Amino acid sequence: MAEPHPLSKFWQAAYSVIQEYWMITEPAIEDAAIHNDIPIELYYYGELGLSRFSLESFQKRDPFSNPEQFEKLFARLDVKGWIEPQHDEGYAVTEMARAGAKFIIMSGDATLPPEEAFPEIDLERLKVLVKRIVVANDGAPEPPEKWAIAHRFRVANRASPVLVKIREYLMDLFAYRDDSHLAAARPHFNDAGIVWLTLGAAWEAGAVSAEKLAEALTFRGYDADDYEVALQAAKEIGWLEETESPGAFRISQKGKELREQVEAQTDDYFYAPWSALTQDELDELYDLLIRLRERLREIRKTASDSRF
């Protein structure tokens, strides 16, 4: 296993804070969507942009899911008037859809603790440090192509609470991480995202089979037959090899080396703009992220316990 990037702990800390945000806000987002008859997909796919929907644009950030499920989504949203068909096979996202997405996201944000709940954490300073990395991302040379960070739907503005602004900047980092990974990985799989998906699953989980992949990755929209074809393709190009168990595959040495090469390239792209911060500032950022994560976790668990 390759050595982790020297800055990996900083992104891991940032991502753990994002996860705490999700656990606090998403129940309220889902409730608001249900009670106001707003498609929850407008929240999930807002990360792919809420100006135009198309198969091509969705696959820019998510080449790993079955495109058929995107087409079915477009049909449902079109019938309800959330998107409008265009002449180029894409769809214009309506103002009603953007307003609906903003409403349910802000319903989730309303459940975030007030700034007063963090008396020992300098939230403004954390916001400034994360924003500086985001600004550095904007000014960084390509690759990576800055598709995800340019297209994602944002709700925070100047008047938003500082905790919401921090969330928005962290999600910008998340988008740039995706941009970085796709810039490193896409040359190896082109349009065959499902084949790359099988390599990643074997790299992380060891032996995999078509049935296990279909069960574990239901959100990708592929069935076992699809994964069987992809596994065989990955075997033919030398990324996977068969195990002693029928229908099971593990990562080959070639596949392992390729995956590690792509992860290293992802890190090189992603962390290059972090040089905007000094080592002391990075250490300060890490400390603030960890303290914010622990405080959010404490508040979330206290709220959960109080409901019983």
Residue spans of the chain under pLDDT 50 = none
Q: Which of 56, 33, 31, 34 is nearest to 43 (CA)?
A: 33
Q: 180 near 273, Cβ under 8 Å?
A: no
Q: What is the pLDDT of residue 94?
A: 98
Give the separation between CA 98 and CA 249, rounded to whole angstroms: 43
Verify that 183 and 200 share a domain, yes or no.
Answer: no
In this structure, is residue 293 part of a structural domain?
Answer: no
Verify that 219 and 94 share a domain, yes or no.
Answer: no
Q: What is the pLDDT of residue 126?
A: 99
In this structure, is residue 3 part of a structural domain?
Answer: no
Backbone angles phi, psi at 209, to 5 degrees: -135, 165
Q: What is the pLDDT of residue 306?
A: 65
Q: What is the pLDDT of residues 257-298, one digit of tens each?
A: 999 999 999 999 999 999 999 999 999 999 999 999 999 999
Q: Which residue has the tokens 């700034």?
A: 115
In this structure, is residue 291 part of a structural domain?
Answer: no
Q: 293 near 16, Cβ under 8 Å?
A: yes
Verify that 119 and 199 share a domain, yes or no.
Answer: no
Verify that 181 and 213 share a domain, yes or no.
Answer: no
In this structure, is residue 99 part of a structural domain?
Answer: yes
3-state secondary structure of 58: helix
Q: What is the pLDDT of residue 89?
A: 87
Verify that 225 and 183 share a domain, yes or no.
Answer: no
In this structure, is residue 292 part of a structural domain?
Answer: no
Verify that 95 and 118 share a domain, yes or no.
Answer: yes
Verify that 95 and 228 share a domain, yes or no.
Answer: no
Q: What is the pLDDT of residues 218-263, one digit of tens each?
A: 999 999 999 999 999 999 999 999 999 999 999 999 999 999 999 9
In this structure, is residue 299 part of a structural domain?
Answer: no
Give the separation between CA 299 and CA 306, rounded to whole angstroms: 11
Q: What is the pLDDT of residue 186?
A: 97
Range of the domain at 213: 192-251
Please give the share of the chain, as a percent, with pLDDT higher than 70. 98
In this structure, is residue 64 part of a structural domain?
Answer: yes
In this structure, is residue 290 part of a structural domain?
Answer: no
Verify that 26 and 78 share a domain, yes or no.
Answer: yes
Verify that 172 and 212 share a domain, yes or no.
Answer: no
Q: What is the pLDDT of residue 205?
A: 86
**Total count of domains within the chain:** 2
User: Crossing angle, helix 253-271 and helix 193-205, to 10 degrees?
Assistant: 100
Q: 187 near 28, Cβ under 8 Å?
A: no
This prediction has a pTM of 0.95
Verify that 101 and 212 share a domain, yes or no.
Answer: no
Verify that 184 and 245 share a domain, yes or no.
Answer: no
CATH code of the domain in which 202 resides? 1.10.10
Verify that 165 and 201 share a domain, yes or no.
Answer: no
